[in-house]
Structure 1
Amino acid sequence: MYDRILVPTDGESMDRVYDHALDIASQRGATVHLLYVVDDRAFLTLDERMRDDVLAELESEGASATTSATDRFAAADVETVTATARGDPADEILAYAEANDVDLVVMGTRRRNYRESMVGSVSQKVIARSDAPVLTVGLADEE
């Protein structure tokens, strides 16, 4: 049932998410797809050179995050596929899941303040729009 598991990562505080995905993947012989999305919407007003530098830095962080996660899954003999995308995180996660026929999305969620909850979190948007089941794992609160 779960052959392809998508784990969107931002590289921060993802241990609990990885633990859940690893448990499911190792029991099912599933491949874990690790996706890092560079949210480039906030940088559209920056000077082009500055924007390029910021995006390059974020892409580097994404490569580091997916490499670190890949190492963790490889240590447990779980096959991984890595990818980086640019754009709205929820849209990119959903597009990747559809394009790769993902069976399950395992992602983190954080407690948000009232204002952020009114706008909606990435995990809320993915849950509402995903064709695949979505397992959300609470991350450490950011106080």
Structure 2
Amino acid sequence: MFNRILLPTDGTDAMQTVIDHAIDIASRRDAVIHILYVVDDRAFLTLQDGMKADVIAELEAEGETALEATARLFDDSDIKTTTALRKGDPADEIISYATETDVDLITMGTRRADYTENLVGSVSQSIVARADTPVLTTNLTRDDDI
């Protein structure tokens, strides 16, 4: 149990809490951490093709940087990591990756939101509702953020 852990990241410093939990769990179980970054390309559907390609290329570069930075945080541990970058709806891509790689646990951050944002839903809420594997969510919002 918990031999393959999926860690979706957005590359922000707030992810450190989630990473700390992933390190703790993985080190106790000799697990592999799958670090995933998803470029959300849905917002760019109305851009001209040339502009869309440029924006997505820039976001992919940011994603690669985030993956490398996150993977480096595991360098001081004996934990094996693998990285992947995907494009699409973040919730769909996380679920798809989790299924394809047969992960045992998804660990991800969540932020507090007001009720109007909760009506629309968030990526973490969607993952919790749809995932076939356990999902560990960690609050990324500091009390002074609300």
TM-score of the superposed pair, with normalisation by structure 2: 0.94
- Whether the 8 Å contact between 1:104 and 1:135 is mirrored in structure 2 is yes
Q: Percent identity?
A: 57
Q: Distance in 2 between matches of 1:102 and 1:22?
A: 16
| Secondary structure of the corresponding residue to residue 141 of structure 2 | coil
Matched residue count: 143
1:6 alignment counterpart: 6
Q: How do residues 1-143 of structure 1 correspond to structure 2 at under 5 angstroms?
A: 1-12=1-12, 13-141=14-142, 142=145
Indicate the SS of the match to 1:131.
coil
CA distance in 2, matches of 1:137, 1:54: 30
Which amino acid in 2 is paired with 1:69?
A: T
Whether the 8 Å CA contact 1:74–1:80 is kept in 2: the answer is no
Distance 2:32 2:3 in 1: 6
> Structure 1-normalised TM-score?
0.96
Which segments of 5 or more consecutive residues in structure 2 lack a partner in the other structure?
none
For 1:137 and 1:98, how far apart are their aligned partners in 2? 21
Structure 1: how far apart are the matches of 2:53 and 2:117? 27
Q: Match for 2:58: what amino acid?
A: E
How far apart in 1 are the matches of 2:21 and 2:61?
Answer: 26
Structure 1 residue runs of 5 or longer lacking an equivalent are none
Aligned equivalents of 2:96, 2:115: Cα separation in 1 = 28
